[in-house]
Amino acid sequence: MFKKIMMPVDLAHQGDLKKALACAADLASHYGAEIVYVGVTAAAPSATAHNPEEFDAKLKEFAAGQGREHGVTASSKTVLCHDPTTDVDDAIVKAAKDTGADLVVMASHVPNVLDIVWPSNGGRVAEHVDCTVMVVRS
Amino acid sequence: MAEETTNQGIPRPEGNADLIQTDYEIGQDNIQTKVGPFGLDIHNPVFVISGLVIIAFVAYALAAPTQAAEFFGWLRPALTSTFDWFFLWSANIFVLFCLVLIVSPYGSVRLGGTDARPDYGYTGWFAMLFAAGMGIGLMFFGVLEPVYHMAISEPLGVPSPIAEDGSIIEANVDAARRMGLAATSYHWALHPWAIYAVVALALALFSYNKGLPLTIRSAFYPIFGERVWGWTGHIIDTLAVFATLFGLATSLGFGAQQANAGLEHIYGLPNNTTVQVILIIAITGVALISVLRGLDGGVKVLSEINMVIALLLLLFVLFAAGVGGILSDFVAGLGAYLREVVPLSNPHGRDDTGYMQGWTAFYWAWWISWSPFVGMFIARVSRGRTVREFVTCVLIIPSLVCLLWMAVFGGAAIDQVLTDPAGSAVKAQVIDSYNPPLSLFAMLEGLPLSSITSTIGIILVIVFFVTSSDSGSLVIDTITAGGKVDAPVPQRVFWCTFEGLVAIALLIGGGLGALQAMVISTGLPFTVILLMICFAIFKGLMNEKRG
């Protein structure tokens, strides 16, 4: 049913991703799909990496690790944007189109009152991509 | 130490940039928590201390307004008159430092590593540099300063062409006119931009090439070493937040008063606190939308809109006041600037202390106190440029634009004063009485379609404030998040709103002037810091790969 699964990951908060990561891997092995892990970063140094090249290398390593752990084909894609706080949704939407993914699996926070004025990433992404989006409550 | 496991590790050197090896991990001192529905990721203790100290100072200014006004009212002129030579020489050093960087082999070092490509095209980049750096000042001083220096402050002893009785002394006209433009350009061209360039270059270099967090303390790594991650760094960052927030809040308060004066002048709107508070709320509201839309969707778009409106106003004044006359003013002003910049920069053996201390030293302290904010913002948007390209674009091109702006607005105003001294509104508002907020509108009154252009002028003033306010909020947010550029949205909302609230409190309770004087007073310690930064930049560039 699915050939390519895309999963946005925040390497600085891997703890919050556990359930979604397992879910993406299960789906991938069930359907024989490959997974693309997408990371969004700014050019400025962050908690994860000191520059985009290093970020890219870490993401690759992360993807390879996930692939080995779950026995699925995994790759990675780094998206560079100027202001990750506000641009992350657009970056994910664009990555979904660029990678040609037919399923997006992403982790979600517990919905709260702020979502009324500031919609969640998952909601925004689902609104703007053509493929299926699965939001995994952590 | 160099193991590469999952994340948060210390990187291996990338080859194309010279990373500084430090045990500090970005965000290690941060507190990630939730207050109600709001997720926070704040630096401990910079966020809390800056917030509390700012509240304490506002409380002091509100509780003892007279005492605060007296103290800071004394402090600022005392500093600029005692340390005038220090400010002037330091600014000269910054200009020379930048010029040396342009021609030196270090000019080919690329910010972000040898393979980095610029984040922004020239138009967007340039619009943001300008809107954050000095847009609002051009509106406020573009008419005031050239006229004032031509007629009143007599820089370098060039006599005024306006006699006591208001008649024109023909013999003095040409020299005074040229000096009016040159003495103004001196404050707006190379020197201020060199100050911004030094801070911005240091931050960009230590962040993009050395891998340190994008915050002010990183520029001090070559000087203080690992201590910048401790209290030394906390104090530096807190001071920067402090200068930025108060600089913005006091300007916002004064800006609301200016816009109100303009609205009263043109539409007869009442000039009172209520209108001004509404203006601050409106400006903060638009700035809030802008920071919520982010760097590309908000700040950049507004800066570009601003550039277009400013350009249209510039072209209008240029054609309405006569292209020939203005262009000859520009050429004469540029020539006079190049000729006089050396004598104007020399603090020794001068009699024109009113100009040198009251204007030049004041301006240098002012630009320097704003440099952490503007420098950090410039750094944020300048990755991928080479040092040569960066310094040339931050130093030379804005300088030329400022020279042109002053020639157009100042030249048109001077023309009005000299051709019809009795009927000139500019003369009434600048020379006969000193009414700075109205100077721009007085000049526009002397040209056709003044009700339209004055309205555009007010809009431009307001939008320039928005672009300062949103870029300032982004900068404060990044500093108080320990250099993280991906802190949660509520934090930038907090700083943007806080800035508006501080402005409103000071406007209602009094104390805008006192706190602005205090911000400018921070220019003195920052000057020492900037001189150290020049040294740090050289040290940092030495290890970088060129080409």
Q: State the smallest CA–CA distance between residue B541 and chain A in angstroms.
A: 18
pLDDT at B547: 61
Report d(CA B404, CA B307) in Å as an integer.
14
Query: Within B149-297, where are the H helices?
Result: 170-188, 190-204, 221-224, 231-267, 273-294
Interface test with A, best of B40, B478, B485 (most A CBs within 10 A): B485
Report d(CA B108, CA B121) in Å as an integer.
19
Beta carbons of A12 and B383 less than 8 Å apart: no
Residue B7 lies in a domain: no
Beta carbons of B7 and A14 less than 8 Å apart: yes
B304 touching A, CB under 8 A?
A: no
Nearest to A11 among B7, B19, B294 (CB): B7
pLDDT at B246: 83
In terms of residue numbers, what domain contains B400?
82-247+290-465+505-542
Residue A133 has pLDDT above 70, yes or no: yes
Q: Is B114 exposed, middle or buried (CB count within 10 Å of its CB: 0-12, 13-18, 19+)? A: middle
Report d(CA B377, CA B184) in Å as an integer.
25
Report d(CA B167, CA B419) in Å as an integer.
11
Query: Within B346-438, where are the H helices?
Result: 353-355, 362-380, 387-405, 411-419, 425-426
pLDDT at B8: 31
Find, among B240, B235, B192, B197, the residue nearest to B522 by Cα: B240
Residue B379 lies in a domain: yes
Main-chain dihedrals φ then ψ at residue A40, nearest 5 degrees: -110, 130
Report d(CA B114, CA B95) in Å as an integer.
26
Q: Domain tally for chain A?
A: 1
B362 touching A, CB under 8 A?
A: no
pLDDT at B345: 93
Rg (CA), chain B: 23
Model-level ipTM above the cut of 0.85: no
More confident residue, A50 or B331: B331
Q: What is the DSSP letter of B545?
A: P
Interface test with A, best of B486, B497, B544 (most A CBs within 10 A): B486
B433 touching A, CB under 8 A?
A: no
Residues of B in contact with A50 (CB under 8 A): 11, 19, 211
Inter-chain Cβ pairs, chain A and chain B, closer than 8 A: 113
For B79-101, the pLDDT digits (tens) are 888 999 999 999 999 999 999 99
Task: Give kind and range of the element (H or E) at residue B335.
Answer: helix B323-345
In terms of residue numbers, what domain contains A66?
4-137
Give the type of residue at A45. Answer: P
Provide the β-strand partners of residue B32: B41
Mean pLDDT of chain B: 86
pLDDT at B37: 61
A18 touching B, CB under 8 A?
A: no
Nearest to B485 among A44, A112, A114 (CB): A44
Structure tokens, B393: 């674009």
- Name the pairing type of β-strands A103-108 and A132-137: parallel
Interface test with B, best of A83, A108, A118, A120 (most B CBs within 10 A): A83
Share of chain B above pLDDT 70, in %: 94
Least confident of A121-125, B65-69, B114-118: A121-125
Residues of B in contact with A81 (CB under 8 A): 296
Interface test with B, best of A37, A50, A76 (most B CBs within 10 A): A50
Report d(CA B388, CA B381) in Å as an integer.
16
What is the end-to-end Cα distance of chain B in Å, rounded? 30
Report d(CA B81, CA B87) in Å as an integer.
10
Residues of B in contact with A42 (CB under 8 A): 485-486
A138 touching B, CB under 8 A?
A: no
Residue B365 lies in a domain: yes
Report d(CA B498, CA B480) in Å as an integer.
14
Residue B4 lies in a domain: no
With the C-alpha atoms ordered A18, A22, A23, A24, is the resulting torsion angle positive or negative?
A: positive
The model's confidence at residue B18, banded by pLDDT at 50, 70 and 90, is low
Q: State the smallest CA–CA distance between residue B45 and chain A in angstroms.
A: 18
pLDDT at A64: 93
A1 touching B, CB under 8 A?
A: no
Q: Domain tally for chain B?
A: 1
List the 379-398 stretch of B: residues with Cβ below 8 A of A: 380-381, 383-384
Report d(CA B146, CA B253) in Å as an integer.
25
A64 touching B, CB under 8 A?
A: no
B119 touching A, CB under 8 A?
A: yes
Residue B8 lies in a domain: no
Structure tokens, A99: 């990678």
Residue B9 lies in a domain: no
List the CATH number of the domain containing A19. Answer: 3.40.50.620
